Structure 1
Amino acid sequence: MWQFESNLYLDIARLLLSFLHAWNLDKDLDAVCVKKLALNKPKQQLYFGNVSRHGQLSVVLPQRTKRTFDTFSTDLRWQASHSLTTTHLLAVISTANTLMGMRNAASQIENTRRSSLASAPPLARKTTKEGLISERQQLKQGWSLLAALHCVLLPDHVHPRSSYAAPRIELLARRWQDSCVEIREAAQALLIRELSRLGASGRRRLIESWTPFLPPLLDPALSIF
């Protein structure tokens, strides 16, 4: 029963990553995702939605002009919404990091290989079993590359770069102390990366934009701290 539930969770995680991965931005990583991580590249354009803090739902609806998935993934996917980018990046990074730390994440691939080797000669079977450790390492490296693309490299792959809908700083800050460890770590990594990407001038503008919402400075004599 536990093994069935574990495989079910892994299948759901792979399905989620298949929908949310930034396809067509890194061809080499796409090949790793398909061949090593068992992700499935969508064939049609995807339509995402977002729920606001007040429960309002916004959904991207199909248009009269039908787009291919390749066009959607390169020309619209990461340019549509800052909130959607934030949510998707948090989901991808936290899920990839979780799978990277799970030993049984490679179990399905191993079981598939064992079944295919059932009728293989003993020598070939032995050689393949010795390569299972290497297979696990390649899987961990694949999840790591997937997380790195979405956490660090994504803005450099979106063209034109100015069209990139960057994650919202306030949403990442809100998740800084999230009760879920994986989401908290993903939010912290994304926030640090985004602040670094903004540069000194960008951080200054960010501080200036938030200054009106901060409490005014008080006379030290009146402070309770």
Structure 2
Amino acid sequence: MDWLEVVVLFLQHLWLSVVPLLLGLAVAIPLGWLARRYRRLYAPMLGVTGLAYTIPSLALFVALPVILGTQILSPVNVVVALTIYTLALLVRTVADGLGAVPDDVRQAALAMGYRPLPRFLRVELPVAVPVIGAGLRVAAVSNVSLVTVSALLGVPQLGALFVDGLNRAYLAPLITGIVLCVVLALLLDGLILLGTRALTPWQRERGAT
């Protein structure tokens, strides 16, 4: 396997890790808001999403083609599975992040005339960004790890290097795969951290004082 093939596997792994992260976040934000807004939904919603995270990844990768009608090698299966796992991690994070918004901040926004949706988007959600960002970092690293499991089904990504190394009893592909997975996890973690800091400039100002 030459370096160009490894680059392609790295990019495929990146895509399979990031797309479910974005989809999961997009769905987790309204679900987390509902769980926080309607307290009776909090426990059952978190229970269901928490239960979803206990499903073994390999079993989910095998079951989804039957459920979705896709091919076993389709990357759609990986995207759907990891979106489910991302949701399981982020719904609680979003709900708890919104719950951590101080009441005086909400009251101030209400006094300024913010209606519920603008208040959520312009006040509550930005204040919750640090908590959500922390959960997103965990989900990103988890996705990078879980994607490798799909190599057992033949989905091309960095996990293919592990399979290749094991099949040939050759150490180099294994080490390459491990190093590149760590690099990818650190890259995503760093990007999310930078994005969190960019979206919360008041925290940098507070730290500088």
TM > 0.5 fold call: no
Q: Whose RCO is larger (CA < 8 A, sep 6+)?
A: 2
Q: Rg larger in 1 or in 2? A: 1
TM-score (normalizing by structure 1): 0.32
TM-score (normalizing by structure 2): 0.34
